[in-house]
Amino acid sequence: MDNWYNEACFYHFFTFGVCNAPFYNSYTLNEYRINEVEKWIPHIKDMKCNSVLFSPIFESKSHGYDTSDYYKIDSRLGDNESFKNLVNVMHQNNLKVVLDGVFNHCGRDFFAFQDLLKNKEKSKYCSWFSNLNFNNSNNLKDPFTYDTWAGYTELPKFNLENAELKNYLFDAVKYWIAYFDIDGLRLDAAECLDLKFIEELRVFCEKEKFDFWLMGEIVNKDYRDVCDTNKLHSATNYEIFKGIYSSHNEQNLFEIAYSLDRQFNIDKGIYNYFSLYNFVDNHDQDRLATLVNNCYYLYTIYILLFTIPGIPSIYYGSEWGIKGRKGINLDKEIRPYIDINNITKVEENLESVIKKVSTIRNKTLALKQGSYQEVSLEYHKPFIFKREIKNQIVYVIINPNENDYDININTEIDTFYDELNNEYYNKEDLKSLNVNKYWARILVSK
């Protein structure tokens, strides 16, 4: 039996943003903002998504990745019971729930680090932190130094070889599964995690819930290093993220075609044995509508996202073409509050196109599990690739150019249906098929 994540399609929230929470935490619960998410459930289902990723959600001081309590939903959002109720409602709507797990580091308000500040060398938690050194001080005037994430002193790095710490973190995961009934975790900064920790976490999680899914945030590492039958199930596909928008901007689809062939070629693809998590923007990157040079590219980019191998993900609000640049006003441009009942749609037709291509993927086995093979690629002409499984063949033709083009596909299959444009074709028609500018065709064998 296939596990749910093999056919997953994600809707991704930056939780503090969508719930309109303040940036800094007073650690006082005064509003159940997490209830805001429930209003989005009809829309998520309408987009044909079956899974939701919350980034992040546990108690922290500021942006969420400086965790201060691994057993408590952030006070700016609600309490544990309110989130448990939300997960229950999502499960009733056949939506899987995945949370961010920050295991590489913590925030300075985490109890073990606070004990370290108080008791220094006498703290029983000294061994919980990586490369702790009491012979120096740091820029925050701590009487010691320690490893951090990316040089941020506010994010002290854990020593994941410490058995007591590891048991603490695993017990937290056990609690999340038992109490909230979550379905998976995105491991923040996964490329920094010890492989032994990842392997042990995989075994632990599957004992708690047999179909529990683990996905890692990987930016600058070969995904094979962390994905395997005994490691992570999936990883963030940053190579495809970059290639999709930049190849459109440069009007050079050779870039994305090269990556797709390298990753998923039917004979030699290096990532053929696991499903990568594909995205076109997220809570750490500029919004797609800001990244592209031409708004028409949004349409062919999303069609690509839902037809290439892997797990597609929609970042909340981008289906309406909203813009946002990273680093502005505490990243609020890319992590905004959006009132689901009062949407400003920058691109009026984008939502309906994404919904349509998502529906096509859901009902087309070859797009979810089929092999990948490049068919045709020429400068400033449509890019054609083929997905195939059992007796089903799908041709995807992407034309992000400013001109219409005729294409030529040689096939032995007699009849195809264009799922995007609602037209039937026979194999002779495909030898001179027109593809409109800034548009695509998805031809499914019948």
Domain that holds residue 261: 4-106+161-367
Q: Calculate the average pLDDT of the chain.
A: 97
Q: What is the pLDDT of residue 1?
A: 44
Q: Are residues 257 and 132 in the same domain?
A: no
Q: Are residues 400 and 440 in the same domain?
A: yes
Query: Model's pTM, two decimal places?
Result: 0.97
Region 14-32: what's the mean pLDDT? Answer: 96
Question: Looking at 367, 388, 410, which one is the last position of a domain?
Answer: 367
Q: What is the pLDDT of residue 380?
A: 87
Q: Are residues 218 and 337 in the same domain?
A: yes
For the stretch 198-206, contacts whose Cβ atoms lie closer than 8 Å and that sit 24 or more positions apart, written own/partner, are: 198/226, 198/231, 198/232, 199/230, 199/231, 200/166, 200/170, 201/103, 201/170, 201/173, 202/230, 202/231, 202/232, 203/230, 204/170, 204/173, 204/174, 205/173, 205/177
Q: What is the pLDDT of residue 351?
A: 98
3-state DSSP helix/strand/coil % of the chain, to nearest 5: 35, 25, 45
Residue 434 confidence (pLDDT) above 60: yes
Residue 59 confidence (pLDDT) above 70: yes
Region 320-347: what's the mean pLDDT? Answer: 96
What percent of the chain has pLDDT above 70?
100
Q: What is the pLDDT of residue 236?
A: 98
- pLDDT band per the 50, 70, 90 thresholds, residue 225: very high
* CATH number of the CATH domain containing 404: 2.60.40.1180
Count of structural domains within the chain: 3
Q: Are residues 153 and 186 in the same domain?
A: no
Q: CA quadruple 87, 89, 91, 95: dihedral positive or negative?
A: negative
The tens digit of pLDDT for each residue in 366-397 reads 999 999 999 999 988 999 999 999 989 999 99
Q: What is the pLDDT of residue 343?
A: 94
Q: Are residues 326 and 396 in the same domain?
A: no
Residue 425 confidence (pLDDT) above 80: yes
Q: Are residues 266 and 174 in the same domain?
A: yes
Q: Are residues 64 and 188 in the same domain?
A: yes
